[in-house]
Amino acid sequence: MSTTDRLSTDNHRYTIAARGLPEHDVPAEKHLPATAQALLDAEYANMSACVRCGLCLTSCPTYVVSGHESEGPRGRIALMRALVEGRVPLTDDLIDREESCLACDACTAVCPAGVHMEPLQVAFRASVEASRDSGVVPKRGLVARVLRAAVFEWLFPSMPRFRAVVWLVWFYRVSGLRTMARALGIVRLLGLRDADDLLPVFGPDFLVPVGQILPTDLPSPDRESVAIFAGCVMSTAFGATAHATVRVLNKAGCDVTCPAGQGCCGALHAHGGDLDGALRLARSVIESFETDGDAPVIVNAAGCGAMMKEYRHLFAADPLWAGRAAAFSARVRDVSEYLVTRELPVMHRLTGGSIVVTYQDACHLAHAQKVTVPPRDLIRQIPGVTLRDLPDKALCCGSAGVYNVTHPEMARTLGDRKAAAISETGATIMVTANPGCHLQMQASLARAGSDVRVMHLVDLIDLALTPESSR
């Protein structure tokens, strides 16, 4: 259906003037380039399903904070639809409102019409980059272009380079350079205060995938082979958690394969508008796991798991990859989703006796993957642990990939809200299932002066499966 046909049959045109964006004739030079138009056209049915009921508004983190219609799901969809229909031009203001979305999918989880926000945002952000290349909107500044190229084209596609950079970050922390940079005000001068606060505390204990098999030593009759997705951040900055994941899977009676050739899942690229880069990384991941037959692919990072389950959608129109992507996506399991189906050894009490734990739902696990019960069931298996739910548990913590770097003020506000909610529970340990959430809440709790310990779910289970004498 052409744009003209859509406009003539559309009985639901409504005001998009929230904060000053009236409809008007779009000059020819501001028309979306064909590539950008095609990306948005592919999601037109998705955006058109919105019935404007508003049930999504209270679930949207940015709307809850700002109260602006254009910074909520309904307003963003209205703007996006007006753009694809040629009723408004692509402007920096419109881009800012759309890209303030965390793509947390909380709106998707409550939408009665089945609108799926994340693919809309992926398509929109890719269309923005296509429009920059075509001159419809100005190109990014030189510094921004260099940084994007360094991250998207140089760093994340190469795991050896990624590990080298993580080594440098580790050295920056332990050598005193970080302390010096903060004391001299260099970090603040460069506008990197929030990013610096997020740097993880880690040791260079990487999980390097080289096709190794890490066998269980349990003679379990239900012994099973699984493949682990190491990832980029989880295998390096969270290398200890990656090794803990292997240990827990081994104790659950699993032989763990770590396929060679795997790398970044492409989520950062997709959410950053580099769809071609995301697809290249996705193909590489799919290929690296095809040697393992139909073994479950275990993931310990919520964002990566959500992305890899979405491969079937990303490649749906590609006749060469659609089947391979769908087969791969069907194998992907979050580690909690898988472990809850296995019989674990008896867990031990944690040091300190009775402990109050709260669980923070990672958005891409709870909303995108619909996995909420398994992590809680696993925590409840630990003797002496009292699990308390967070107030407003469905609201994003503000991490969202690199959102806390690109939108530090909103991310800080959301992180502080979550830290206050954690304090209300009286918990001494906060458990999460995503590295971004882990770093965001670690920084937010520290800012609040809280001594609540942040742990990945797998680290908590690994600790509980270890006899006290061996800890």
CATH topology classification for 3-134: Fumarate Reductase Iron-sulfur Protein; Chain B, domain 2 (1.10.1060)
What span, in angstroms and rounded, lies between the C-alpha atoms of 162 and 167?
Answer: 9
Structure confidence by residue, pLDDT tens digits, 13-51: 334 433 344 455 676 666 788 989 999 999 999 999 999
* Every domain of the chain and the residues it spans: 3-134, 142-197, 212-339, 355-470
CA–chain centroid gap for 452, Å, is: 23
What burial class does residue 426 get, using C-beta atoms within 10 Å of its C-beta: 0-12 exposed, 13-18 middle, 19+ buried?
exposed
Structure confidence by residue, pLDDT tens digits, 46-92: 999 999 999 999 999 999 999 999 999 999 999 999 999 999 999 99
Which residues, listed in sequence order, are joined to residue 227 by a DSSP beta bridge?
257, 297
182 closest CA partner among 171, 170, 165, 195: 195
Tokens of 51: 């019935």
What span, in angstroms and rounded, lies between the C-alpha atoms of 383 and 42?
Answer: 50
Contact (CB, 8 A) for 298 and 358: no
Between the CA of residue 106 and those of 45, 66, 69, 260, 371, what are the distances in Å?
Answer: 20, 16, 16, 34, 13
pTM: 0.90
Indicate the length of the chain as a whole number. 471
List CB contacts of 469: < 8 A, sequence separation 6 or more: none
Q: At what angle do helices 92-99 and 117-134 cross, to 10 degrees?
A: 150
Give me the DSSP letters along 429-447.
EEEES-HHHHHHHHHHHHH
How confident is residue 196, by pLDDT bands cut at 50, 70 and 90?
Answer: confident
60 closest CA partner among 128, 136, 111: 111
355-470 is classed CATH 3.40.50.10700: yes
Q: What is the reported pLDDT for 401?
A: 85
Average pLDDT rounded to a whole number, residues 92-108: 94
List CB contacts of 37: < 8 A, sequence separation 6 or more: 31, 84, 127
Alpha helices in 221-266 (DSSP H): 233-236, 239-251
